[in-house]
C-alpha cells in the first residue's frame, strides 16, 4: 500500500519547484501541480538576478543573504547547471539625488553585514567600462550574482523527481478541498487529490485559489517588459540595475508621473546571459494579466538602456517578452501558514525577488510542513 | 491544408503549376522555379543571361519561365534568395535524373558521396549520389550541388542530408539537435513553447522561423497529434532584428 501524499504544491515556477525539492529532500511525499508547464509563467519570463543590494535591511535582506549563500553550491547539489555566475552587481545612480538615496540604503545594508560600497563614476567605469561617463556613479556589491531562472525551476523539479516527488504539468488545481475548516486536498481536472498540506506557490495566480473562501490576497500582477539581444561577446562584467528601479520599488511617491519613463516604472536591469545575449529590462506596470509587449514600453526601456550604456546603441534586439511579477504592497512575499485556512501554506508574492529568494523560500516553507 | 502558405512546402496544385513536362526534361536541363507566393522579389529575372525569366515592372508578379529559351545553365539557382530554383535534367541517362540545388549548410559533401535525398519538407525519399559541387565565385557563397537520383524521384528530391554526419541540428541558432527535441517531447513537452523552454530551441537569432515547423512535426510524430492541433509559439516583436538605437528612437523624452 502506498503512503498518502504529505503535500500538494500548486505552481511550477521557481518557488513551487524549490518547495517541492526541499520537501522531498526532507522525506515528504510530494505532488506538484502546474496547469501549464514548469517555468511557463513568470519564472520563464524574467531576468536572473540574485541581487542583494536591492533588499531592505531586515528580514528581506537576511533571507536574501541566506538564499545567495545556498545558490553558490546549488548547481552541484541539484546536479544541474543553473548557469550561476558570481559576477557582482551594480546599482547605477544618474544624479546627486539618486546617489543620496543609495547612500542612505547602503549605510543600513553595511550595518546589516552586506559588502556594498558607493563608487564615483570614474571608479565604477574601471569595473564596468561601458557605463556612460556623465552618470554620478554606482553602488557595487561583489556578492550579487546571476542565474538562469528557467534552469533553476527545471533543476529543482528534476532533483525533486529523483527524490520521489511527482511533478505533474498540465494538471490544473481547480479548487481547494476544505473539511471541518481545514484544507485537506485539491480538486483538479484529473480528479481529487488529498494531502495533509497544500502549498500555494501560484505567484500572480495565487489569489484565485483562496478567493472562494473570502480571502483577498494582496498580490497583484505587475508587468515587466524585457528586450533580448543577439548573442554578443562579453560586454558586461556585472548585473546592472539603476536607482530608478529602487525608487519604483520602495519610493513610488518620488516618481514624476508626467514623465513616461516614470509612468511605465522603467528601471534598468541588464544582464548578459551564459549564452551571450543581453536581457535588458524593464517596465513595472499594473495592467492586469496582459502579457503583451507594447511599443511604448519597449521604446522606453531601450531609451533608458542607451542613456546608461551608450555602447548598447549598436546591438541588435531579436525579441521582446514580458512577465507578470507578483507584487505585494509592502514589497515582501507572503510566506507561511494562512490563519484563515489551516493546512494551506503560502509561498507567493515575491515580485522581482523570486529568483533571489527561491532556495530559502523552498527551505523555509518545507520546514512548515507537519 | 496543404501548400506553401500552410506547410512551407508546395502542394499538389502548386507543383502542377511549376513542374516542367517530361518531354522538356528529356530534352535537356531546365530550370524549375518553385516560386508560388507573390512577394516583391526579382533577382532571378536579372540572373538569366538568355532572358528566359520574366517578372516585369510589378515585382510582386510570379516569375514566368520560357521553357524554350531556358538553356539549363543553372545560373539562376544560386541567385534566388528563397532557395526556390532548381535545375532538373532527365536527358543524360535511361534511369537517373540530375537535380541541381542550392545548399547553404556546412559541411559540404564530397563528389561520389551517397547522401539521403529528402523532399521539400525534409523527409527522406531515396539515396542520392553527389555528382557535382559548385562553389565558384559567381555563386557568391551559396554552394550549388548536383545529385543523381532515380528518374521517378526527379520532382520529389529537393535537398539532402549527409548521412555520415550523424546528429542533425534542428535549431541551428542554438544548436539543439533532433534527438534533444525528441527527448523533450518524450518528457512531456506538447507545444513548441514547451520544447523551447526545455531545450532553448527557437531562442536564437532567427526566433524559431526555421525550426518551429520542424519541432511541430516532431511533436506530431511522437504523440500522434495532428500538426494543426499543436500550439505555435508566441510571436513577439521585433519581426526582424533591429538595433537598440533604432528601437529607442530619436529623443530621450516624449
CA separation, residue B220 to residues A207, B12, B168, B190 (Å) = 36, 22, 18, 9
Q: Give the full edge-to-edge strand order of the sheet including A220-229.
A: A116-120, A137-141, A89-93, A239-242, A269-272, A278-281, A220-229, A316-327, B242-243
d(CA B235, CA A320): 9
Q: How far is B83 from B32, CA to CA, in rounded Å?
A: 11
Contact of A269 with A240, CB cutoff 8 Å:
yes
- Using CA atoms, how far apart are residues A277 and A81, in angstroms rounded to an integer? 18
Q: What is the pLDDT of residue B253?
A: 45
- Residues of B with CB below 8 A from A312's CB? 244
Distance from CA of B245 to the nearest CA of A (A): 4
On average, the pLDDT of chain B sits at 91
Which of A39, A280, A318 has the CB atom closest to B197's CB atom? A39
ipTM of the complex: 0.90
Query: Is the minimum CB–CB distance between B236 and chain A shorter than 8 Å?
Result: yes
Separation in Å, CA of A116 to nearest CA in chain B? 31
Separation in Å, CA of B106 to nearest CA in chain A: 21
More confident residue, A245 or A273: A273
Instruction: Read off the pTM.
Output: 0.78
CB pair distance less than 8 Å for A318 and B241? yes
**Closest residue by Cα to residue A282 from A244, A328, A254:** A244
A290 touches chain B (CB under 8 A): no
Own/partner contacts of B55-62, CB < 8 Å, gap of 24 or more, are: B62/B35, B62/B36, B62/B38
For A297, name the nearest residue in chain B, comparing CA atoms only.
Answer: B248
Residue A127 and residue A90 in contact, taking contact as beta carbons nearer than 8 Å: yes
| Phi-psi category of residue A233: left, alpha or beta, with phi > 0 → left and psi -120 to 50 → alpha | beta
Q: Beta-carbon neighbour count of residue A72 at 10 Å?
A: 13
Residue pLDDT, tens place only, B122-142: 889 999 999 999 999 888 889
Tens digits of per-residue pLDDT, B36-66?
A: 999 999 999 999 999 999 999 999 999 999 9
**B238 and A306 in contact by Cβ < 8 A?**
no
Number of residue pairs across A and B with CB atoms under 8 Å?
86
Q: Where are the beta strands (DSSP E) in B162-254?
A: 169-171, 176-177, 242-243
Map residue A341 onto helix, strand or coil. Answer: coil
Residue A227 CA to residue A233 CA, distance in Å, equals 17
CA distance linking residue B159 with residue B117, whole number of Å: 6
pLDDT at position B251 is 56
Residue-wise pLDDT tens digits, A126-180: 999 999 999 999 999 999 999 999 999 999 999 999 999 999 999 999 999 999 9
- Which residue is it, cell 481545514? A182
Contact B140/A at CB under 8 A: no
pLDDT digits (tens, 9 = 90+) for B3-12: 888 888 899 9
Nearest CB among B197, B241, B245 relative to A37 is that of: B197
Q: What residue in B sits closest to A258 (Cα-Cα)?
A: B254
DSSP lists the bridge partners of residue A348 as A334
B242 touches chain A (CB under 8 A): yes
Give the nearest partner residue to B236 out of A275, A315, A320, using CB atoms. A320
Of chain B, the percentage scoring pLDDT greater than 70 comes to 97
Residue B242 with chain A: CB contacts under 8 Å = 316-317
A232: which 3 cell numbers?
554578443
Amino acid at each position: 500500500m502506498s503512503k498518502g501524499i504529505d503535500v500538494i504544491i500548486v505552481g511550477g515556477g521557481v518557488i513551487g519547484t524549490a518547495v517541492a525539492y526541499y520537501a522531498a529532500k526532507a522525506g515528504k511525499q510530494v505532488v506538484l501541480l502546474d496547469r501549464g508547464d514548469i517555468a511557463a509563467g513568470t519564472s520563464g519570463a524574467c531576468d536572473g538576478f540574485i541581487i542583494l543590494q536591492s533588499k531592505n535591511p531586515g528580514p528581506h535582506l537576511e533571507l536574501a543573504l541566506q538564499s545567495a549563500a545556498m545558490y553558490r553550491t546549488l548547481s552541484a547539489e541539484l546536479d544541474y547547471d543553473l548557469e550561476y555566475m558570481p559576477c557582482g552587481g551594480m546599482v547605477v545612480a544618474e544624479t546627486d539625488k539618486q546617489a543620496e538615496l543609495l547612500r542612505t540604503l547602503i549605510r543600513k545594508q553595511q550595518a546589516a553585514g552586506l559588502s556594498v560600497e558607493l563608487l564615483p563614476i570614474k571608479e565604477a567605469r574601471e569595473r564596468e567600462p561601458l557605463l556612460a561617463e556623465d552618470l554620478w556613479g554606482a553602488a557595487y556589491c561583489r556578492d550579487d550574482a546571476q542565474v538562469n531562472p528557467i534552469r533553476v525551476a527545471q533543476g529543482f523539479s528534476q532533483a525533486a523527481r529523483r527524490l520521489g516527488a511527482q511533478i505533474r504539468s498540465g494538471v490544473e488545481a481547480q479548487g481547494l478541498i476544505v473539511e471541518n475548516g481545514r484544507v485537506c486536498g485539491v480538486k483538479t481536472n484529473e480528479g481529487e487529490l488529498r494531502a495533509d498540506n497544500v502549498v500555494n506557490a501560484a505567484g500572480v495566480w495565487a489569489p484565485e485559489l483562496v478567493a472562494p473562501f473570502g480571502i483577498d490576497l494582496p498580490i497583484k500582477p505587475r508587468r515587466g517588459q524585457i528586450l533580448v539581444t543577439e548573442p554578443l561577446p562579453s560586454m558586461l562584467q556585472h548585473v546592472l540595475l539603476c536607482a530608478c528601479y529602487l525608487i519604483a520599488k520602495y519610493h513610488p511617491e518620488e516618481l514624476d508621473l508626467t514623465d513616461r519613463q516614470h509612468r511605465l516604472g522603467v528601471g534598468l536591469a541588464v544582464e548578459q546571459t551564459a549564452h551571450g545575449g543581453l536581457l535588458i529590462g524593464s517596465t513595472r506596470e499594473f495592467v492586469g494579466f496582459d502579457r503583451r509587449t507594447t511599443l511604448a514600453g519597449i521604446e522606453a526601456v531601450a531609451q533608458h538602456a542607451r542613456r546608461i550604456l551608450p555602447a548598447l546603441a549598436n546591438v541588435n534586439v531579436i525579441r521582446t517578452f514580458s512577465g507578470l511579477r507578483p507584487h505585494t504592497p509592502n514589497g515582501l512575499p507572503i510566506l507561511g501558514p494562512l490563519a484563515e485556512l489551516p493546512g494551506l501554506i503560502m509561498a507567493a508574492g515575491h515580485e522581482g525577488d523570486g529568483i533571489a529568494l527561491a532556495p530559502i523560500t523552498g527551505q523555509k516553507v518545507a520546514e512548515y510542513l507537519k | 491544408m496543404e501548400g506553401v502558405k500552410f506547410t512551407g512546402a508546395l502542394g499538389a496544385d502548386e507543383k502542377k503549376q511549376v513542374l516542367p513536362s517530361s518531354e522538356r526534361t528529356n530534352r535537356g536541363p531546365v530550370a524549375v522555379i518553385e516560386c508560388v507566393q507573390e512577394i516583391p522579389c526579382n533577382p532571378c529575372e536579372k540572373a538569366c543571361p538568355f532572358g528566359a525569366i520574366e517578372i516585369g515592372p510589378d515585382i510582386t508578379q510570379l516569375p514566368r519561365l520560357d521553357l524554350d529559351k531556358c538553356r539549363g545553365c543553372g545560373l539562376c539557382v544560386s541567385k534566388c534568395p528563397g532557395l526556390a530554383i532548381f535545375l532538373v535534367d532527365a536527358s543524360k541517362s535511361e534511369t537517373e535524373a540530375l537535380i541541381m540545388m542550392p545548399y547553404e549548410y556546412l559541411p559540404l559533401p564530397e563528389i561520389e558521396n551517397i547522401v539521403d535525398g529528402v523532399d521539400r519538407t525534409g523527409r527522406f525519399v531515396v539515396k542520392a549520389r553527389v555528382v557535382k559541387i559548385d562553389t565558384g565565385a559567381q555563386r557568391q557563397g551559396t554552394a550549388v550541388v548536383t545529385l543523381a537520383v532515380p528518374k521517378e524521384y526527379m520532382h520529389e528530391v529537393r535537398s539532402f542530408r549527409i548521412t555520415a554526419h550523424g546528429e542533425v541540428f534542428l535549431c541551428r541558432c542554438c544548436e539543439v539537435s533532433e534527438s534533444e527535441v525528441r527527448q523533450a517531447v518524450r518528457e512531456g513537452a506538447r507545444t513548441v513553447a514547451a520544447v523551447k523552454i526545455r531545450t532553448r530551441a527557437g531562442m536564437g537569432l532567427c526566433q524559431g522561423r526555421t525550426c518551429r515547423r520542424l519541432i511541430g512535426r516532431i511533436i506530431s510524430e511522437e504523440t500522434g497529434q495532428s500538426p494543426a492541433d499543436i500550439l505555435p509559439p508566441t510571436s513577439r516583436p521585433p519581426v526582424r532584428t533591429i538595433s537598440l538605437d533604432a528601437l529607442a528612437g530619436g529623443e530621450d523624452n516624449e
